[in-house]
């Protein structure tokens, strides 16, 4: 068969693909059109078997390109209306979610704001003295407390948006921050906090080395040789000073724990928080790409029939909310007990009462609204 005839058949296939439009995401629309027109063209032209494979391969690739262009144009055309509908639905969902969990969310936000304000004030009052005395523990605790506030805000935001499983995942990070803060607070060895701060140089060097390894394949902007060498020297200085154990993830705590490669679990056991390990493992479910059977997520807790949850839900907020309030208070206590006063201890007592109120409020709401 002549190239001219093959080109004509391909054009007929492309023409029908451009003219026909898929209806409401029927995922076989273009495929059916392509197969129909190709079959008709083959019959009409009397193509033999030796030419069919070449014709199909050439036509298929061009049909895909044409279908993609057509789909994209349609999607962009209707997207403004769809976006308005999406935002309207999301706003309505958030309003209903807040109406259900209002008492608990308001207490959680109150606790978060107080924690933020007292942490900021503590930093302002004590930073000059800490800076003059190279107080590494103060620097570490203040930095970690700010992270705890930010992660807590993320948890509240996820709950208000209807993602309790995401909130639980972020609690995992908050728990790790609180554990490290308590560990640093209880250490009588002032060098531990310095090791913790300088360990960042080891982490940074590893990140840059990995960046360099994959910068070409990942199409990243290349890093300068001198930047990498500076990072390697900084890492070497830290390891030369404190030992090779600093090369592991929690190596800054190795000499205190007497372990070459300590883990977060080792820190938990050291400060008496290892009983949180089952909840920690639970919170890991949505972080890793593991298989989840239907009905095992928090968002599905109130589903009356099997569902593959791919969006928001206003179910089962109690656990992530209460766990957040407890872990945030752990972080608060680790910071504020660094320089305790009557005022700070009174605030800690207030925050502890609020954490209890948060748990009770969410539990009551869940029980009451589920019955209703």
pLDDT digits (tens, 9 = 90+) for 5-39: 556 666 666 666 666 555 555 667 667 766 776 67
Report, as an integer, the average pLDDT of 179-190: 90
* Higher pLDDT among residues 123 and 49, named by residue: 123
Same domain, 188 and 259: yes
pLDDT of residue 48 exceeding 70, the answer is no
Q: What is the pLDDT of residues 124-150, one digit of tens each?
A: 999 999 999 999 999 999 999 999 999
* Higher pLDDT among residues 46 and 253, named by residue: 253
Please report whether residue 251 resides in a domain: yes
pLDDT of residue 47 exceeding 60, the answer is yes
Please report whether residue 195 resides in a domain: yes
Please report whether residue 86 resides in a domain: no
Give the list of residues 6+ apart from residue 7 with CB closer than 8 angstroms, or none: none
> Which of 38-42, 289-293, 314-318 shows the lowest mean pLDDT across its residues?
38-42
Report, as an integer, the average pLDDT of 62-80: 80
pLDDT of residue 2 exceeding 60, the answer is no
Range of the domain at 211: 101-371
DSSP letter for each residue of 164-191: HHHHHHHHHHHHHHHHHHHHHHH---TH
Last residue of a domain, one of 56, 74, 92: 74
Please report whether residue 24 resides in a domain: yes
85 — pLDDT class (breaks 50, 70, 90): very high
Last residue of a domain, one of 74, 90, 109: 74
> Which of 73-77, 111-115, 154-158, 298-302 shows the lowest mean pLDDT across its residues?
73-77
In the numeric block, the tokens 């494979």 are attached to 53
Same domain, 26 and 110: no
DSSP 85: H
Same domain, 41 and 156: no
Predicted confidence at residue 291, as pLDDT, reads 81
Q: How many CA atoms lie within 13 A of 155 on its CB side?
A: 31
DSSP letter for each residue of 298-333: GGGTT-SS-----S------HHHHHHHHHHHHHHHH
The number of distinct structural domains making up the chain is 2
Same domain, 169 and 287: yes
Contacts 24+ apart (CB under 8 A), 264-273: 264/176, 264/179, 267/179, 267/180, 267/183, 268/179, 270/183, 271/179, 271/182, 271/183, 271/186, 273/178, 273/179, 273/182
Percent helix / strand / coil, the chain, rounded to 5: 80, 0, 20
Same domain, 51 and 123: no
Q: Dump strand ranges (E) for the chain.
A: none
Predicted confidence at residue 55, as pLDDT, reads 66
3-state secondary structure at position 69: helix
CA 364 to the chain's CA centroid: 29
- Name the percent of the chain lying above pLDDT 90: 68
Predicted confidence at residue 1, as pLDDT, reads 45
Do 17 and 35 form a contact (C-beta atoms < 8 A)?
no
User: What's the chain's average pLDDT?
Assistant: 88
Predicted confidence at residue 312, as pLDDT, reads 92
Do 185 and 338 form a contact (C-beta atoms < 8 A)?
yes
Same domain, 358 and 292: yes
* Higher pLDDT among residues 370 and 223, named by residue: 223
Same domain, 311 and 244: yes
Please report whether residue 89 resides in a domain: no
* Higher pLDDT among residues 71 and 246, named by residue: 246
Same domain, 316 and 354: yes
Please report whether residue 117 resides in a domain: yes
Please report whether residue 229 resides in a domain: yes
Predicted confidence at residue 161, as pLDDT, reads 96
CA 92/CA 86 separation, integer angstroms: 10
- Please, what is the end-to-end C-alpha distance for the chain in angstroms? 73
Give the list of residues 6+ apart from residue 296 with CB closer than 8 angstroms, or none: 285
Buried b / exposed e along 316-347 (16+ C-beta atoms within 10 A): bbbbbbbbbbbbbbbbbbbbbebeeeeebeeb
Phi/psi at 215 (5° precision): -65, -35
pLDDT of residue 336 exceeding 60, the answer is yes
Q: What is the pLDDT of residues 231-249, one digit of tens each?
A: 999 999 999 999 999 999 9
> Which of 57-66, 226-235, 292-301, 344-353 shows the lowest mean pLDDT across its residues?
57-66
Report, as an integer, the average pLDDT of 281-292: 86
> Which of 70-74, 131-135, 194-198, 233-237 shows the lowest mean pLDDT across its residues?
70-74
Same domain, 15 and 123: no
* Higher pLDDT among residues 190 and 92, named by residue: 92
Please report whether residue 81 resides in a domain: no
Same domain, 240 and 367: yes
Same domain, 18 and 151: no
- Name the percent of the chain lying above pLDDT 70: 85
Predicted confidence at residue 252, as pLDDT, reads 97
Same domain, 69 and 129: no
Do 225 and 232 form a contact (C-beta atoms < 8 A)?
no
Give the list of residues 6+ apart from residue 140 with CB closer than 8 angstroms, or none: 184, 193, 196, 197
């Amino acid at each position: 068969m002549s190239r001219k005839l093959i080109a004509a058949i391909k054009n007929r296939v492309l023409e029908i693909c451009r003219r026909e439009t898929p209806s409401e995401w029927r995922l076989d629309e273009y495929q059916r059109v392509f197969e129909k027109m190709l079959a008709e063209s083959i019959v009409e032209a009397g193509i033999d078997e030796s030419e069919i494979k070449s014709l199909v391969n050439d036509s298929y690739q061009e049909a895909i390109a044409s279908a993609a262009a057509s789909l994209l144009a349609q999607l962009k055309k209707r997207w403004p209306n769809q976006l308005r509908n999406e935002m309207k639905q999301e706003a309505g969902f958030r309003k209903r979610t807040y109406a259900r969990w209002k008492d608990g969310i308001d207490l959680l936000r109150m606790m978060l704001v107080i924690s933020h304000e007292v942490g900021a004030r503590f930093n302002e009052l004590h930073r000059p003295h800490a800076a003059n005395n190279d107080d590494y523990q103060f620097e570490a605790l203040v930095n970690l407390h700010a992270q705890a506030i930010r992660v807590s805000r993320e948890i509240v935001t996820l709950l208000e948006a209807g993602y309790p499983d995401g909130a639980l995942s972020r609690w995992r990070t908050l728990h790790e921050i609180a554990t490290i803060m308590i560990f640093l607070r209880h250490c009588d060895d002032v060098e531990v906090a310095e090791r913790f701060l300088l360990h960042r140089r080891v982490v940074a060097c590893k990140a840059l080395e990995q960046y360099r390894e994959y910068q070409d394949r990942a199409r990243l902007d290349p890093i300068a040789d001198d930047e990498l060498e500076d990072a390697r020297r900084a890492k070497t200085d830290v390891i030369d000073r404190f030992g090779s154990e600093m090369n592991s993830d929690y190596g800054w705590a190795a000499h205190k724990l007497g372990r070459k490669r300590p883990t977060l679990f080792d820190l938990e056991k050291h400060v008496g928080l290892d009983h949180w390990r089952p909840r920690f493992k639970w919170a890991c479910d949505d972080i890793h790409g593991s298989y989840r059977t239907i009905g095992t997520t928090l968002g599905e807790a109130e589903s009356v029939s099997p569902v593959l949850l791919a969006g928001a839900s206003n179910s089962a907020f109690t656990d992530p909310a209460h766990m957040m309030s407890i872990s945030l208070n752990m972080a608060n206590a680790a910071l504020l007990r660094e320089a305790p006063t009557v005022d700070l201890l009174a605030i800690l007592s207030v925050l502890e009462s609020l954490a209890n109120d948060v748990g009770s409020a969410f539990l009551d709401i869940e029980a009451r609204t589920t019955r209703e």
